[in-house]
Amino acid sequence: MLKLQGIFGIFVFLGFCWLVSNDRKNINYKQVLIGVALQFSIAIIVTNFAFIQTFFNALNSGILAICDATKQGTSFVFGYLGGGDTPFTVEQGKEGKTFILALQSLPMVMVMSALTSVLFYWQVIPVITKFLSKILEKTLGIGGALGLSSASTVFFGTDVAALLIKPHLKHMSRSELFTLMSCGMATVASSIMVLYTQILQPIFPNQGTALGHIIIASFINVPSALVVALIMMPQVGKTTGGHLVQVDQPHSTMDAITRGVSDGLSMLLNITAMLIVLTALVYLINIGLSNFTIMGQAISLQKFFGLIFAPIAWLMGIPFSEISTAGGIMGTKIVLNEIFAYQDLILNMDLLSKHTQLIMVYALCGFANFTSVGIVIGALGILIPERRSEIVTLSIKAVVSGALANCITGTIIGLLS
């Protein structure tokens, strides 16, 4: 029954895209079928071949090394607040109380940002990006500029992906620009992936397995976002060719590290500030909502989201008894961000089956939320100021398309699990 729900759900999600499409006559249905087939192919390959699982298991040692290295740095700077030995005895069962997110987990964003910058300078990421872009161009028939930028979103956010094709941005069609924004909304940056693995540790004790799922989700989300976006806004006319542009290339490995640290610090401060403010706002809203009741129960933001997004959770192949909880977590992701949503998933994991937990890990893995709108508008608005009003117009629609792409990816994983 759950499989049938999922199959029906994929048709509903794609049907909704068709319903809100701005040009149904020019939808390339062959492109859509190839895109969906590509999503299933990637999912089948990464979930069924032993050597892929071996690769992701090998990542575990790398992740543990990054975590330990980060802990060494935070302990040196912050002492026991950064994860070092405590100068006092911690009461049994209260060890978790010494964990401080901003000083122990979030600094990994800086470490990963520096590593990503170095891998880009060493040409590792550009080679992978070019390979992925060629696959997307050959299979889906998209232009070179969109192929490169959408492939780049596997590793970077929309801002960096757009920067890599900066000279081509102003020439991109409205459809290509929207599709680029959708891909950015549907994926996550490599610099923050390891943070998710720490949050998801109660579900995946082996962090290599957790990272494997996050990476797989990002890879599947690219063709998923392309399919959704090209239905909602089909490409008409010539596509935009393009090549990778490495703007302001670092002069050395150390230069790459310092630039990565600087970018990571900016991201860390932004994440910390957002978590503080959004947590406070949710608390305030829940205080206000607690004055109202439905069927004798106080209303909260999470329960409100659960009612709205429960049907979407059902369409993803989630059991009826769990759709309210899953829907609330999805709503948290859309309105706040995926970090809050993953934390909610852990808090409610005892209410969800393993099948649902896996679907949710994939469905939440994307930047498609309202807080990302400002980042996308700000970044693209600077790069192509003459198209700022167009970017603003497309931004909310891009959130919808990115979220739908995430839902389709989660549904596909549910069908194959």
* DSSP symbols for 178-237: HHHHHHHHHS--HHHHHHHHHHTTTT-SSHHHHHHHHHHHHHHHHHHHHHHHHHHS---S
CA distance 285 to 48: 44
Read off the amino acid at residue 216.
I
When mean pLDDT is compared across 170-174, 279-283, 357-361, the lowest value belongs to 279-283
Average pLDDT over residues 388-413: 94
* pLDDT band at 93; cut points 50, 70, 90: low
Reported as half-sphere exposure (CB side, CA atoms, 13 A), residue 301 has a value of 22
Mean pLDDT of the chain: 86
Which run of H or of E encompasses 58?
helix 50-78
When mean pLDDT is compared across 114-118, 297-301, 387-391, the lowest value belongs to 297-301
Please check whether residue 153 is in contact with residue 226, taking contact to mean a CB–CB distance below 8 angstroms: no
Please check whether residue 153 is in contact with residue 184, taking contact to mean a CB–CB distance below 8 angstroms: yes
pLDDT digits (tens, 9 = 90+) for 193-217: 888 888 898 998 876 678 888 988 9
CA distance 87 to 73: 18
β partners of residue 411:
none
Structure tokens at 195: 């943070």
Torsion of CA 337, 119, 144, 169, to 10 degrees: 60
Could you give the angle at which helices 29-48 and 124-140 cross, rounded to 10 degrees?
130
Instruction: Judge whether residue 318 has pLDDT over 70.
Output: yes
